[in-house]
Every structure is written in structure tokens, then in C-alpha cells.
Amino acid sequence: MNRREVLVNAAGEQLEGFLALPDGTGSLVLFAHGSGSSRFSPRNNMVAEQLNDAGIGTLLFDLLTADEHRIDEVTREYRFDIDLLARRLAAAVDWVAHEQTTEKLHFGLFGSSTGAAAALIAAAERPLLVKAVVSRGGRPDLAGSDLPLVKAPTLLIVGGDDTQVIELNEEAAARMVNSPQLQIIPGATHLFEEPGTLEEVVRLAIDWFRLHLS
């Protein structure tokens, strides 16, 4: 396993991240955090570690600069700036596509909360590079007019007790033309804090990425 800290050159900003590449991997999943989270997100780190154990590479990186993150903690203005998040995520896809250690890999995106909308927009803007998308408790509805443009196979995972987000995911899926799969995990709330629910997210994500990034 090759793990290292990286600086992602994304749309003119140097964004800090953790790149993990299991030996012999052919795939890389970029994480799009949401709701003010960062590369230190315990849930996304847990998901990333399990993906690594399954032989899938991961890139956890901050979509916001340190200054933006400090401002967002007070004003919450950046976490809903979907255009900004999507622009930086798409730029990060370009970055890994040109880095020597990752350029030959197949790329997928894993988005949480508002990060799911950024992931879908980035997938729509980079159809030749992004091969699969997974959304965990996401807000795909915030991708708006880009939803019908997404070609990458998309898995939408929502907690069974997260009723409002289920409705938003159903509405978003109805606007997509790539036949997205909506997977509802019984007994799970928005953050998948209930025993075994995040593990189920991981299992579904691994299966999805193995299928579409092989």
C-alpha cells in the first residue's frame, strides 16, 4: 500500500489530501465531502480504508481551502456553493488523470451530502474520465440541470429513516437518464450512525466500484 499526503492542483487552488494506492490497483475513487466536512471525516475515512482493503485506491482531499473552511464554519456559505465544489472536484479529476502514479487508473466518485451533487456535476462534465458514482446520504437534487447529463453508472444510497432525503433522491433519479440505482438501507438515519449501517454502505460501494471500474 502506497499512502501519502498530496497537494491537489484544483482550479488554481492547492488542496490538501491523502492518496492511498493499494499494490496493483486499477481504480481510484475521489471523495467529495459535504456539509462542511474535510479529508479528516471519520465516516469517509472508514469507507476509504475498506475500499483500500478491497484493492481500490482512494483520494480524500479538502474541497475548501483552510481559510474558506474557517469562514464556512461560521457562515456555512461554502458548503452549499455547489458550483465551486463541483468545479474543484472536476479539476481534481483532471489532476489525477495527469499524475504519473494515477493517470492509467479508472476513476470513480464517492459523494456525501452536498458533495454528492458536486460529484454528479463533475461526472457530467468529465464523461470520459468518471466511470462510476456513489452517493451516500446525498443531495443529488442540487445538481439541477446537470442530472440528465450524467452518463456514469450511479448508485444512490439513502437511510430508510431519512424520509425527506429519500424523496429528494427519488425526484433526482427520475430526472436522470442513466438508470441510477436507489438503495435504501432500513433503519438508517442521515449519517448512518446505527450499528451495521455504514458497513452496508461500504459493501454496496465496493460492489458498485468493482463492477464499473474493473
The boundaries of the domain holding residue 69 are: 2-213
**Residue 27 burial by Cβ neighbours in a 10 Å radius (0-12, 13-18, 19+):** buried
CA distances from 50 to 86, 176, 192, 203 (A): 25, 29, 16, 9
pLDDT tens-digit readout, 1-53: 899 999 999 878 899 999 999 999 999 999 998 766 778 888 889 999 999 99
Cβ atoms 105, 57 nearer than 8 A: yes
The predicted structure's pLDDT at residue 133: 98
Domain tally for the chain?
1
CATH code, 85: 3.40.50.1820
Alpha-carbon 26 to chain mean position: 18
Q: What is the pTM of this model?
A: 0.95
pLDDT tens-digit readout, 160-171: 999 999 999 999
